[in-house]
Structure 1
Amino acid sequence: MSDIGVTHSPRYDIDMCLREDETIFEKMEISYDDFRNHPEPVEVLKSYYRPLLSEGQTLWWMGNDEVATPPVLTMWNALEKDAEEYYTAKGFALFPELIAGDSRTKYTRMVFWLVTNHGVINHALRDKYSGGGRKDFTINGVEYQGKPKVLYILNCKKNLVKELILQADHEELREHWEEEYIYEGDERLRQWINLVASQGDVEMSLLYHMFEV
């Protein structure tokens, strides 16, 4: 077997000319029987393929506890206001690169997540988070001038973003933050801020002030 595709369960691609030491199971370092009997075979696949991803790529299939993708696709501009607010804040919570990542790829993972998890299509996600330009805003009486628009938007939604980060399932955060250990409470917020800072140039002190940690 040369490769494995994923639908609702693993689907095998067979190559009759493949050498024994070139099978997908050899590459994953697991026997076919062990893989077949594994309680979470998709997780084994994800662990193998994730390090092989190039920049801008993501795994579209999820684990055994996934939420089924809705059968109907919805354009972002057709969402109810509450749903739009939720997805925008959830994007900040799950994808730290939205704030300070590479402008060429910073929206890629969220675009895939919206489609595969929620059936939502947005072909201009940048406009929801930055759209260029700079804004002034105030945090607890302190005025910040000429800051990137994405920080202004984050400040407007900080209460919901904070709630979503603190209430998120550990496995969900491990998946999207690509972190082995997820902290609790204020330490989780600090963990998120550190992930944001690791993506590019951002004022950590501003984020600490914004989220009061």
Structure 2
Amino acid sequence: MSSENLIISTNNAPEETVFEELLEKSKSILDEEYENKKEDFEKGDDKFFEKKVADVMNKASENTPFEGTVNLISGHHFPDIVANELYGVEVKSVKSKKMTTTGNSISESVSSKGLKKIYIMFGKLVSPCEFCFRKYEECLASIAVTHSPRYKVDMALKENETIFSKMGISYDDFKKLDNPILHFIEYYRRTNPESESLWWLGPNGEEKTVDFEIKQWSKLPIEEKNKLIVLSMIKFPEIFGTNQDKYEEVAAFLASEKGVVCASLRDNFTAGGKVTLSLNNKEYIKVPQIFKRLIRYLPSIFQELEELEDGTSLDDWLTRIKPYVESNLNTQNTTTQSNVLTSTSLLHHIKTEYQKMRED
């Protein structure tokens, strides 16, 4: 949802099928415009896509009950588009190959009351761009926790896999609840009896300042540990440096966004001290352990970079880690021996491995 714009259409109430025909035509226009101006879409952001949706809806509305009634209005509203005070459209876009994103707060009220149905118009703004729309409640897969409980949107979700199917309540009934968070807590505790506490919520569902279920690192499956290590290597380039406090931001990220606490976080990156590293049929001595682990996780890092919603590229990531890698390896390397790893060799190896992955 945009914090900037609301699109409103005011006209006598047409049937739901008529509105869906408008959305289908709007999608077709998006497809056509993308074919003619691919670069505009692939470089565009969420605001670009919201404005584009408003424009194509105006075009699609010609000779329909909605003609001349689609407007773009500033303000904080949900959903972004309202037609005849009966139908709404929330505009979502991502800079990744995933058809998923974070939705709105589960406790957020609808700005325009009395809406009969809300839809999502979704844009995947990376090559090749894709556009689709669905009824809002049909693509709400789960409830994720960031700074407040929010829906997780999955445009490819099957009908019986929505969070409402799991909770045994319809979306329409859920949004009418006085305390939807409390209903979610009851569902969560019922289906996760062995889970650790939901420390981000009080007993009556009131939100606290920190959000998430506490999980001990030691109890996580190995796959989840590996994924969190990969995310940390991408998001926090300072861990490749030499500062003593370089893991503080990682610890904060894991606790506040992933609900994970770890008493010995540093060990997951550096345990083992200096090691011998084999790279391109050559052995390098006295290499900090974190760089051996970096090489180990490269395939997963490449995969994650391909899927990140913020559009971070390999070059972006390498630019961010480069000064920390240089600082660390320059501190370690006080000789010019050929078996001492340099930042140039390491970064070149990463680029080469990435190119091999792309070619495969």
Give the TM-score category using the shorter length: 0.5 to 0.7
Q: Which amino acid aligns with 2:260?
A: V
User: Is 1:94 matched with 2:235?
Assistant: yes
SS of structure 1 residue aligned to 2:278? strand
Question: Distance in 1 between the 2:306 and 2:343 partners?
Answer: 19
Task: Indicate if the aligned counterparts of 1:135 and 1:148 stay in contact, CA closer than 8 A.
Answer: yes
SS of structure 2 residue aligned to 1:123? coil
Percentage of pairs with the same residue = 18
Q: Which amino acid aligns with 2:284?
A: Y
Question: Distance in 1 between the 2:267 and 2:294 partners?
Answer: 13
Residue 320 of structure 2 is matched in structure 1 by: 192
Between Structure 1 and Structure 2, whose CA radius of gyration is higher? 2
Residue 68 of structure 1 is matched in structure 2 by: 145
SS of structure 2 residue aligned to 1:210? helix
CA RMSD of aligned residues (A): 2.9
Residue 131 of structure 1 is matched in structure 2 by: 271
Question: Distance in 2 between the 1:170 and 1:161 partners?
Answer: 15
Residue 206 of structure 1: CA displacement? 3.1
Structure 2 gap ranges (5+):
1-73, 78-101, 106-143, 150-197, 199-212, 330-341, 353-360
Question: Distance in 1 between the 2:242 and 2:235 partners?
Answer: 13
Question: Distance in 1 between the 2:216 and 2:345 partners?
Answer: 34
Question: Distance in 2 between the 1:65 and 1:165 partners?
Answer: 24
Give per-residue Cα distances to partners, 1:143-188, cap 9 Å, x unaligned: 22110111111111111123223432227xxxxxxxxxx5x4x423
Task: Indicate if the aligned counterparts of 1:139 and 1:209 stay in contact, CA closer than 8 A.
Answer: no
Question: Distance in 1 between the 2:328 and 2:216 partners?
Answer: 32
User: Is 1:85 matched with 2:213?
Assistant: no
Question: Distance in 2 between the 1:95 and 1:151 partners?
Answer: 14
Give per-residue Cα distances to partners, 1:108-146, cap 9 Å, x unaligned: 011011111111101211111113521112122222211
Give per-residue Cα distances to partners, 1:4-35, cap 9 Å, x unaligned: xxxxxxxxxxxxxxxxxxxxxxxxxxxxxxxx
Q: Which of 271, 277, 280 is equivalent to 1:140?
A: 280
User: Is 1:122 matched with 2:250?
Assistant: no
Q: 1:141 to 1:189 in 2, by over 3 A?
A: farther
Q: 1:109 to 1:65 in 2, by over 3 A?
A: farther
Q: Which amino acid aligns with 1:85?
A: N
SS of structure 2 residue aligned to 1:169? coil
Q: 1:83 to 1:144 in 2, by over 3 A?
A: same
Residue 195 of structure 2 is matched in structure 1 by: none
The correspondence of residues 196-207 of structure 1 with structure 2, limited to 5 A, is 196-197=324-325, 200-202=327-329, 203-207=342-346
Kindly tell me the number of residue pairs found equivalent between the two proteins: 141
SS of structure 2 residue aligned to 1:143? strand
Q: 1:191 to 1:136 in 2, by over 3 A?
A: same
Structure 1 gap ranges (5+):
1-36, 41-62, 172-181
More moved, 161-170 vs 139-148: 161-170
Q: 1:189 to 1:141 in 2, by over 3 A?
A: farther
Q: TM-score, normalised by structure 2?
A: 0.35
Q: 1:144 to 1:84 in 2, by over 3 A?
A: same
SS of structure 1 residue aligned to 2:328? coil
Q: Larger relative CO (CA 8 A, sep 6+): 1 or 2?
A: 1
Question: Distance in 2 between the 1:95 and 1:135 partners?
Answer: 23
More moved, 145-154 vs 70-79: 70-79
Q: Which of 308, 315, 336 is equivalent to 1:168?
A: 308
Question: Distance in 2 between the 1:150 and 1:81 partners?
Answer: 18
Structure with greater helix share of residues: 1
